[in-house]
Amino acid sequence: MTAVTALPMPGKHYLRGRWLEGAGERFESRNPARWSEVIGIFPQATAAEVDQAVCAARDAYPAWRRTSRIYRAELFDRLAQLIKAETESLAVLMARECGKVLNECRAEIIEGLHMVQYVFGTARMPMGEVLASEIAEKDAYVRRKPRGVAAVITPWNFPFAVPLWMLGPSLLEGNTVVYKPSEDTPAIGQALVALLERAGFPPGVINLVHGAGEVGELLVRDPRVNLVLFTGSYEVGARIQQISAGMVDRICACEMGSKSAVIVCADARLDLAVTASILSAFKTSGQRCVSAGRILVHEKRLEEFAQRFVELARRLNIGDPLDERSFTGPVINEAAVRKISYYNQLAREEGGQVLLDGGRMLDEAHRDGWYMSPFVYRIQHRPQIRCIREEVFGPHVALIPFSTNEEAAAIYNDTDYGLSLAVITEDYRAMRFFREECDFGMGYVNLPCIGAEVHLPFGGVKKSGNGRPSAAGLIETVTHRAAWTVNHGWEIRMAQGLKTDLD
């Protein structure tokens, strides 16, 4: 096992280009795989500091939006070089702070890098449209304009890529930002802002405040914040939208919960179905927003599928995130252990037939961390059952039989969420059927329901998202499409036949 020890990172806010100790209370970030290890000690932002951060972003906004889009993109090119040089150290820090295994952490740094490269590339792409006018001498354009100050509030499970999905388009388009990373992963959030500083983003353009929900709430309540870009739970996303509802100049993009699923059709290739399902349910210990909490399997294939799935799930190597052999690491903290254990118990009470009894791992190799082993159960879909409708965010998965594709689509849709869907089939008609009938934002065929790429929009429907997708889709939220019409004639001629005679 690799022993990585480092002194705790001194946590600081970053306001107006300066790193500040902060006047508020301190909180610790700890390693979920070895809870005694403190990754860093961070200041909780005070109301005055949140105010200063918003002021800094407001003050920096006019000059930043006046810079050339290409200049802003060049800073992202520098950022890309820095990320490439620091990939390994960032991945190790991430593994220690959020407990994801090294391979996943590297993949996430690369996903963040891809967003930066995407943003750099889009800078030289068209930023609007030229349209015809009813009047020959008039040229009409649509031009994107930034919206102002964005509050970026992000989760611990993708502490590098998800912030970059938001920071990338926001900053490229000329907005300025106050960023609050999750209180579970402040160190990686701070490391990201340090890279933005080194890349040359000017003071005030990106500001960092640490802290828990109270700090996020202060940001959301501030009417000088024009955009709230959020990924996290439905409860918090709903609250953000509620608070924002009374504000005139406020747009929110909220990515929230899910109860995503894999549908294994009657004609599925079993090896592919099993691999896709294992990755969907247990990668990141089931802690992706797109993780599958349900695997819908055609009743004719359920026995053989369940046998192979459970056999593989039982053998998964769950251990130290820094050990290259580990498939997954721990869950994030004690509250997660409690929540997952609660749902494991609920599944039993609601009639689930337990096929693999997960739970806290307390042997010598695991007891210092928050390790949970996979919980797999078989259950008939019925109305009202909560365990197959509510998000668990852990290695907890239901195998649900179905007899027709129509039934599978109805079961899939029978949650309040609609984020990610995978269909395992060789039948092109079935693929199309599920694409048309199911509620989702990201759909996959013969793949897991995880693993989105940044140049696609990322966002769900129903309680999963408010219709403003992140990643490549975020440009629509962080810009306003303004119409711009120019008359090249010597006199005024109006559209719609409107007369211009003044006498």
Site of interaction with ligand UN1 (CB under 6 A): 111, 157-158, 162, 231, 288-290, 450-452
* Residues present in the chain in total: 503
Whose Cβ is closer to ligand UN1: residue 155's or residue 352's?
155
**CB of 395: closest distance to ligand UN1 in angstroms?**
14
Active site residue 349: no
The secondary structure element, H or E, covering residue 344 is: helix 334-349
Residue nearer to ligand UN1 on the CB measure, 50 or 162: 162
Smallest gap from residue 397 Cβ to ligand UN1 (A) = 16
Q: Which residue has tokens 């721990």?
A: 330
166: phi then psi, degrees, rounded to nearest 5: -95, -45
Q: Which of 98, 252, 289, 438 is catalytic?
A: 289
147 in Cβ contact with 228 (< 8 Å): no
Query: Torsion over CA of 451, 453, 459 and 460, rounded to 10 degrees?
Result: -40
For ligand UN1, the closer CB: 329 or 451: 451
Neighbours of 384 (CB within 10 A): 6
Q: Report, in angstroms and rounded to the nearest whole number, the Rg of the chain calculated over CA atoms.
A: 24
Q: Shortest distance, CB of residue 470 to ligand UN1, whole angstroms? A: 9
Q: Can you read off the two tokens belonging to residue 344? A: 């494991």
As measured in angstroms, the least distance from the Cβ of 90 to ligand UN1 is: 16
Measured from the CB atom, the residue of 76 and 158 that comes closer to ligand UN1 is 158
DSSP 8-state secondary structure symbol assigned to residue 307: H
* Cβ proximity to ligand UN1, 64 vs 165, nearer residue: 165
Which pair of tokens denotes residue 337? 């252990």
Q: Which residues pair with 151 in a beta bridge?
A: 178, 228
Structure tokens at 429: 């008609």
Element (H, E) at 398: strand 396-402
Q: How far apart are CA 20 and CA 218, in angstroms?
A: 19
Of 262, 259, 265, 261, nearest in space to 299 by CA = 265
User: Phi-psi category of 16—alpha, beta or left, where left has phi over 0 and alpha has psi -120 to 50?
Assistant: left
Catalytic residue chosen out of the listed positions 108, 183, 255, 391: 255
**Residue number, 374 or 460, with CB nearest to ligand UN1:** 460
H/E element, 281: helix 270-282
Nearer of residues 157 and 185 to ligand UN1, judged by Cβ = 157
Q: Where are the beta strands (DSSP E) in 247-350?
A: 251-255, 260-264, 292-298
Q: What are phi and psi for residue 371, nearest 5 degrees?
A: -90, 135
Least Å from the CB of residue 450 to ligand UN1? 4
- The structure tokens listed for 137 are 């001498």
The structure tokens 């119409």 sit at 483
CB of 458 to ligand UN1, least distance (A): 7
The least CB distance from residue 391 to ligand UN1, in Å, is 11
Smallest distance, ligand UN1 to C-beta of residue 495, A: 45
CB of 137 to ligand UN1, least distance (A): 49
Cβ atoms 398, 388 nearer than 8 A: yes
Q: What is the DSSP letter of 45?
A: P
Other CB atoms closer than 10 Å to residue 314's CB: what's the count? Answer: 12
255 is catalytic: yes
Q: Which two tokens stand for residue 122?
A: 């889009």
Give the residue with the Cβ less far from ligand UN1, 279 or 355: 279
The answer to whether 8 touches 39, Cβ cutoff 8 Å, is: yes
Quick one: 275 or 487, whose CB is closer to ligand UN1?
A: 275
**Whose Cβ is closer to ligand UN1: residue 280's or residue 344's?**
280
Tell me the β-bridge partners of 262. 295, 422
Edge-to-edge strand list for the sheet holding 9-10: 9-10, 34-43, 26-31
Two structure tokens written together for 76: 């992202």
**What minimum distance in Å lies between the beta carbon of 280 and ligand UN1?**
9
Active site residues: 255, 289
